C-alpha cells in the first residue's frame, strides 16, 4: 500500500522539483501554442498563467498536499490566480526547511 504522505521534507522537496520541471515544460509548450493567437497584449499574463495552471492540474496533487500540511505550508490546489508563482512560493518555504536553494523564478512573458 502506498504511503499517505512523503516520509521526509527532502523527499517532498524532490517531488516538488520534478513536478515544477514538468509543469514548466508542459505549461511553456501550451503557452507557445496559444501565443500567436493572443490578439490583446493584456491577455498575455492570463494565457501564460492558464497554461501553467492546466499543466499543474494534470497531476494528482493529493499526496503532495497531505505532505505539505505538517509543515504548515499552503496547498497547491488553490493557486489558480498565480499557478507557477504559488508553486515557487511553496518550494521556497520547504527549501528553507530542507536547506535547499530557492528555485529560479519563471520570467513573465513579454
pTM of the shown model: 0.87
Residue 45, pLDDT > 50, answer yes
- Binned at pLDDT 50, 70 and 90, residue 110 comes out as low
With 70 as the cut, is the pLDDT of residue 15 above it? yes
Residue 1: the pLDDT is 46
Distance CA 15, CA 76 (A): 13
For residues 98, 104, 107 and 108, what is the CA-based torsion angle, rounded to 10 degrees?
0
The percentage of the chain sitting over the pLDDT mark of 90, rounded to a whole number, equals 71
Amino acid at each position: 500500500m502506498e504511503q499517505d504522505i512523503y516520509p521526509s521534507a527532502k523527499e517532498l522537496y524532490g517531488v516538488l522539483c520534478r513536478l515544477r520541471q514538468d509543469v514548466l515544460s508542459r505549461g511553456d509548450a501550451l503557452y507557445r501554442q496559444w501565443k500567436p493567437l493572443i490578439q490583446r497584449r493584456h491577455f498575455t499574463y492570463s494565457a501564460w498563467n492558464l497554461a501553467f495552471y492546466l499543466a499543474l492540474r494534470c497531476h494528482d496533487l493529493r499526496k503532495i498536499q497531505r505532505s505539505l500540511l505538517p509543515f504548515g505550508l499552503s496547498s497547491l490546489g488553490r493557486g489558480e490566480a498565480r499557478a507557477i508563482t504559488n508553486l515557487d512560493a511553496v518550494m521556497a518555504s520547504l527549501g528553507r526547511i530542507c536547506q535547499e536553494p530557492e528555485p529560479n523564478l519563471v520570467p513573465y512573458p513579454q
